[in-house]
Amino acid sequence: MSTHFTPNIRRFALAGLMVATLAACADKPRPQGHDYRQNHKIQVASEQVSISIALPQNGLTLSSADAGRFKRFLRDFVQRGRTAMTVESAQPTLAHDVLVNNGLRDNEIFIAPTTTVRAPNVVLSFSANKVIAPECGDYSSSPSGAYDNALHSNYGCSIQRNIGQMVVDPGDFIQAKPAEGKNAGRTDVDVFKQESGTVYPRLLDGSK
């Protein structure tokens, strides 16, 4: 009789073992490291950006060389600046008027109370955010996959690096700027300017 029931007992034992194995797999927590955004983080650091230009002896128009440098500096300030622009000059009133005439807004200017900068020079500076994009090229893990379904060591790195290099204001990774409350028509115009590469008027002729 024992011989007759042995195959059935073995089948039941095998089925029980399979159920126990599946239950153990289901209860096992998912391995860490399955989010490429965590594996290849985009980091944000701060830096001080500055420029020195010469104030005009007559009028409020900068020299052609300084005007071009200031426009590039102003564009960077508009995109990345999160603080007012600090102005160091022995001629603060003239510096203020020249900067406003060339596109900087009055509420974006902070005149330093003391300075060692000599006339006619003026030093402009602001704090900005910069991206530290992940470095890609880690092929240390096996390309055939792993038993725990972990991602490849280089998976998703290029996506993160491209996003980091494309963002206009790295500070948005920390906290996005508040919405401006524009209507849809105005937003469409801004999107078109961004896509077409059109520069805003304030960066071209000083208008606000």
pLDDT tens for residues 12-65? 455 554 444 444 444 443 334 688 888 899 999 989 999 999 999 899 999 999
CA gap 4, 23 in Å, rounded: 31
3-state helix, strand, coil in the chain (%, to 5): 45, 15, 40
CA atoms of 175 and 161, how far apart (whole Å): 19
Q: What's the pTM value of the predicted model, to 2 decimals?
A: 0.61
Lowest mean pLDDT segment, chosen from 19-28, 183-192, 195-204: 19-28
| Domain covering 28-177 in this structure, CATH number | 3.30.1330
Quickly state the pLDDT bin for 81 (edges 50, 70, 90): confident
Q: CB of 171 within 8 A of CB of 129?
A: yes
Q: How far apart are alpha carbons 121 and 90 in whole angstroms? A: 8
pLDDT at 135 over 90: yes
Average pLDDT over the chain, rounded to whole? 80
Task: Give the span between the Cα atoms of 193 and 202, in whole angstroms.
Answer: 13
Please return the burial class of 55, using the count of CB atoms within 10 Å of its CB with bins 0-12, 13-18 and 19+: buried
